[in-house]
Amino acid sequence: EAGVAQSPRYKIIEKRQSVAFWCNPISGHATLYWYQQILGQGPKLLIQFQNNGVVDDSQLPKDRFSAERLKGVDSTLKIQPAKLEDSAVYLCASSSLDSTQYFGPGTRLTVL
């Protein structure tokens, strides 16, 4: 069974630029999560999808972050414009009915 796929693995941009990350969850997993992991901290949930609907986006900075999962499968997370404090690893995870979350390798974003 293929795991959660993410791309790109690394991205370096300058502040005020925009960036997008892509995630393809494990086949059949209805729930998809995006996390932000700042160096030295645990992952923090940004947004959770159930199929193509948003379940929880309470911690998503909506003035600059957006996410979509249009067909209920893969998802994109966008930051526009980026700030220095957005430098972090962005993790995607998916889960099925047993609620166990499986994580992708993450995208390391550096904002200069």
Partner 1 sequence: AQSVTQLGSHVSVSEGALVLLRCNYSSSVPPYLFWYVQYPNQGLQLLLKYTSAATLVKGINGFEAEFKKSETSFHLTKPSAHMSDAAEYFCAVSDGSSASKIIFGSGTRLSIRP
Contact indicator for 79, 64 with CB cutoff of 8 Å: yes
CB of 63 to partner 1, least distance (A): 22
Residue of 67, 104, 61 whose CA lies nearest to 86: 61
Query: Hey, which residues between 19 and 38 contact partner 1 (CB under 8 A)?
Result: 30-31
Return the sign of the alpha-carbon dihedral for residues 47, 18, 104, 90: negative
| Site string (37-66) toward partner 1, x via CB under 8 A | ---xxxxxx--x-x----xx----------
DSSP letter string, 45-60: EEEEEETTEEEE-TTS
Among 19, 94, 95, 111, which residue interacts with partner 1 (rule: CB under 8 A)? 95
Q: Does 12 bind partner 1 (CB under 8 A)?
A: no
| Residue 21 CB neighbour total at 10 angstroms | 22
Q: Does 99 bind partner 1 (CB under 8 A)?
A: yes
Binding site for partner 1 (CB under 8 A): 4, 6, 30-31, 40-45, 48, 50, 55-56, 91, 93, 95, 97-106, 108
